[in-house]
Chain A
Amino acid sequence: DAGVIQSPRHEVTEMGQEVTLRCKPISGHDYLFWYRQTMMRGLELLIYFNNNVPIDDSGMPEDRFSAKMPNASFSTLKIQPSEPRDSAVYFCASNSNGQGWAEQFFGPGTRLTVL
């Protein structure tokens, strides 16, 4: 298994543009998490899904951010319009709590730069 897959790995865009980040979780995992990593705030949970249903989106900064999970093997995080303060590394992680413990498996991250 290739693990959690994220694309693109790097994204540079201009303020006001729409950005879409993609994630493919590990097959069989029923939980998917989106995080944002910055120097100042560390690793922040944005939203997580269970069986494709959003469970907790309290970490989503504002209405400019949205996330979807149309099926068990794909999720997107969209920022529209993007702003320079959105520049960060965005991680996707997945796990299966059916295993009885909560290790999360992380993707390589998408480094977003908004100019």
Chain B
Amino acid sequence: AQRVTQPEKLLSVFKGAPVELKCNYSYSGSPELFWYVQYSRQRLQLLLRHISRESIKGFTADLNKGETSFHLKKPFAQEEDSAMYYCALRGHTDKLIFGTGTRLQVFP
């Protein structure tokens, strides 16, 4: 079965601290992994995809097939990073399976 697990509902850090939002997945094949973000009063939007291997707004995520993880990292958090973050998996169908989300709070 396809499943995405985000173990933390809430992650609170101070500005300038490193951030790691955890995501683990369950899928027998080769998945596509994504991070979506929802800022306050904005639409849910794509942050990054593992196949692009890019850094967006200072965030990176590496797919670790051995640990079946796709953790989102940023070395120095900013207040504007405060948002809801969802990890998502696309398997062999056209649908995305989302995790339950992690709310990131960055305090000044």
Which chain A residues have a beta carbon within 8 Å of chain B's beta carbons? 3, 31, 33, 35, 40-45, 48, 50, 55-56, 91, 93, 97, 101-104, 106-109
A19 smallest CB distance to B (angstroms):
21
Interface string of B64-108 (1 = CB under 8 A from A): 000000000000000000000010001001111111110000000
Is there contact, CB below 8 Å, between B43 and A107?
A: yes
Contact A31-B96, Cβ < 8 Å, known A104-B46, A106-B43? no
Is there contact, CB below 8 Å, between A48 and B43?
A: no
- Which 5 pairs show the lowest CB-CB distances between chains A and B? A42-B100, A43-B98, A106-B44, A103-B46, A42-B101
**In the complex, chain B residues whose CB is within 8 Å of the CB of A109:** 43
Which chain B residues have a beta carbon within 8 Å of chain A's beta carbons? 6, 32, 34, 43-46, 49, 51, 86, 90, 93-101
Instruction: Among A40, A56, A91, A108, point to the contact of B93 (Cβ < 8 A).
Output: A56
A35 to B44, CA, bound (A): 12
**In the complex, chain A residues whose CB is within 8 Å of the CB of B97:** 45
**In the complex, chain A residues whose CB is within 8 Å of the CB of B93:** 55-56
**In the complex, chain A residues whose CB is within 8 Å of the CB of B94:** 31, 48, 50, 55, 97, 102
Instruction: Among B44, B98, B99, point to the contact of A45 (Cβ < 8 A).
Output: B98
Is there contact, CB below 8 Å, between B43 and A3?
A: yes
